[in-house]
Structure 1
């Protein structure tokens, strides 16, 4: 099989637009609403209503959401933040950016997520926050230890960059009481082109987030336009979400039910096609609750890189999500043994996963995977 037979399989991930996004952006441009405007605020209200929460604070990216959330929770220099090593480096960079120390923890190999037991084993007197990563869109349930963490003054800040729309019980992720951060980057479940969102726990937290994203300035934009001065009363950053990006998000939100259904259907198609295959293990995305962001398999470490190379040579857009962060040079100071993470890091392989793929495409990708595995094993 070559790329000519499965053209969409060249890409590991790809944005999916519904045809209304360009018109929405044009309306914003024609109205001159380039920066943070009423369109951004409408997007915040719509997301809050979708999630069933009182408020949502839009920011410029998912990384900005994590950074702002840590600051809003009072995490700072010398504090320790428990975080899985198996995540995109942005999660760790946000922790480092506030001067905190990442305390890397292991994961459950079946889900690539932390567990309450792994979290509590890592808690120390210096722990200020826990950042569970909702890997691949899968919810992480820390309900059993949430009370104990709160008693110790430890914030739970969910990295839900992969998990917009996923559910925990009857609630969407973001509505379960944690300080939750979403990413709306190009390939996420819902895209703004680029953007992010923080779901605050309190009104006070929401106010702090809004000041943080606007350089610590407290007067609204319309008031500043008619004043000779403005007031800066706290540290802040230029983290606003533009009306242009918010317009894309609003158009995407109108079709999210379709996105949710399509991504679950695609993951299940992969699951069914992979079921008869020996030599690979499907990572459980919990598709009954999650809106899957990835479809990943584990291939035995001696073969994974060979299989990766063989599939790439056939224009199949496989990827590796992610190289463990505790092994990265930038974070070497906080390296510690994480056997499950290190093993999974050598085995995990992400198959092409985006809404342009059909069930036929997934079957052909899985067929190519089987052929590559056989070939690699015999090499």
Structure 2
């Protein structure tokens, strides 16, 4: 089901619907229950069942998931959270929202992800949590350091906004025993229109997350309707997911296998088409294990190539400008040589489930032409 008539190479990303979402939303609207409802509860159960975990906590966005998970893990003022600079600013803003401070760490330029070694190199006495970002959908194996992190009392909170459906070895992301946060925004692998999900480590964390997402109110919505009062037990925010958004997510869950196969096939098609371009380095997402969310390359003269490709109506983008170089986060900036190197080279190619072989061919043809023109002029 298409959402726009623009040619697929002109779009960097685009929501993909399967034809069931509108009817699912209509049923919620007809029931007259627009807030957190039993539909939200059902979405939580379905996600937990899909992953094979005891519980899942739905919230209104991926950013809300990160913020709530940090709070549920006990992160607060005076704490330090390790985080790669190469991520969307939402990751860093969630840390700051707790009163904690970010400690930026470098990445592996081949994957744009942190590694176990880089995390251990970045830890200080103030570190209470690490937030690996599963960039582009690639899972990160931290099994070699998990015992040491536990010994030091350092929580692992995965920013898996790009990685719903991906695996590390035989296990899906979200089942490693770490706190994991998914995003179900408009262009994610699975969308709710807007939404997020927290996979807690313990029942205590699940209870804390549920309290936080509903303004700290202890009673459920159903319980509050049958009493004259309610109890606020903790700090909280209005972060709950509506039944409208959950209905979209439930419809999308019926097609997870199709989504995974399509995105892997598209990434492999790009990989084959880009192979002859010697000036291009493809960022590896390991499609055998990951469900790719982005297709990114490193190219010379990136800014000029970006401009020329946009002029030729190819929807390239840049994900992301490094956070340690942003004015709002300058206080915590530190040299990150790999991040700073790739930041001027990365280019995101159109990647979404509307994409066709013709769209991939157009993108790669234009990229090759632009690289040749720019290199000749350099």
- Pick the TM interval, shorter chain: over 0.9
> Which residues of 2 match residues 136-147 of structure 1 at below 5 A?
136-147=136-147
> Which residues of 2 match residues 193-272 of structure 1 at below 5 A?
193-272=193-272
Q: Which residue of 2 aligns with 1:348?
A: 346
Q: Does 1:370 align with 2:368?
A: yes
Deviation, 1:8, is 1.0
Deviation, 1:169, is 1.3
* SS across alignment from 2:344: helix
Deviation, 1:369, is 0.3
Deviation, 1:360, is 2.4
Q: Which residue of 2 aligns with 1:22?
A: 22
Partner Cα separation in structure 2 for residue 222 and residue 322 of structure 1: 42
Q: Does 1:13 align with 2:26?
A: no
Deviation, 1:278, is 1.3
Partner Cα separation in structure 1 for residue 162 and residue 220 of structure 2: 32
Partner Cα separation in structure 2 for residue 262 and residue 361 of structure 1: 14
Q: Does 1:185 align with 2:185?
A: yes
1:225-282 Cα offsets, whole Å, 9 max, x none, are: 0111000010000000000000000000001110000000000000000011110100
Partner Cα separation in structure 2 for residue 126 and residue 69 of structure 1: 19
Cα RMSD over matched residues? 0.9
Q: Which residue of 1 aligns with 2:105?
A: 105
Q: Runs of 5+ in structure 1 lacking a partner? A: none
* SS across alignment from 1:378: helix
* SS across alignment from 2:310: helix
> Which residues of 2 match residues 96-135 of structure 1 at below 5 A?
96-135=96-135
Q: Which residue of 1 aligns with 2:53?
A: 53
1:199-235 Cα offsets, whole Å, 9 max, x none, are: 0000111000000000010111111101110000100
Partner Cα separation in structure 2 for residue 259 and residue 352 of structure 1: 16
Partner Cα separation in structure 1 for residue 367 and residue 220 of structure 2: 55
Partner Cα separation in structure 2 for residue 377 and residue 216 of structure 1: 58
Q: Which residue of 2 aligns with 1:316?
A: 314
Q: Runs of 5+ in structure 2 lacking a partner? A: none
Q: Which residue of 1 aligns with 2:277?
A: 277
What's the TM-score, normalizing by structure 1? 0.97
Deviation, 1:358, is 1.1
Contact preservation (8 Å) 1:6, 1:361: no
Q: How many residues are matched?
A: 373
Partner Cα separation in structure 2 for residue 180 and residue 116 of structure 1: 17
Contact preservation (8 Å) 1:47, 1:56: yes
Q: Which residue of 2 aligns with 1:159?
A: 159
Partner Cα separation in structure 1 for residue 362 and residue 63 of structure 2: 35
> Which residues of 2 match residues 54-69 of structure 1 at below 5 A?
54-69=54-69
What's the TM-score, normalizing by structure 2? 0.98
Partner Cα separation in structure 1 for residue 188 and residue 288 of structure 2: 19
Q: Which residue of 1 aligns with 2:305?
A: 307
Deviation, 1:6, is 8.2
Q: Does 1:335 align with 2:330?
A: no
Partner Cα separation in structure 1 for residue 316 and residue 335 of structure 2: 27
1:290-347 Cα offsets, whole Å, 9 max, x none, are: 00000000012xx100100000000100000000000000000001000000011000
Partner Cα separation in structure 2 for residue 335 and residue 112 of structure 1: 18
Contact preservation (8 Å) 2:9, 2:362: no
Partner Cα separation in structure 1 for residue 156 and residue 41 of structure 2: 26
Q: Which residue of 2 aligns with 1:361?
A: 359
Q: Which residue of 2 aligns with 1:171?
A: 171
Partner Cα separation in structure 2 for residue 6 and residue 307 of structure 1: 22
* SS across alignment from 2:175: coil
Partner Cα separation in structure 1 for residue 318 and residue 129 of structure 2: 28
Partner Cα separation in structure 2 for residue 278 and residue 122 of structure 1: 34
Partner Cα separation in structure 2 for residue 49 and residue 372 of structure 1: 47
Partner Cα separation in structure 2 for residue 257 and residue 53 of structure 1: 19
Q: Which residue of 2 aligns with 1:326?
A: 324
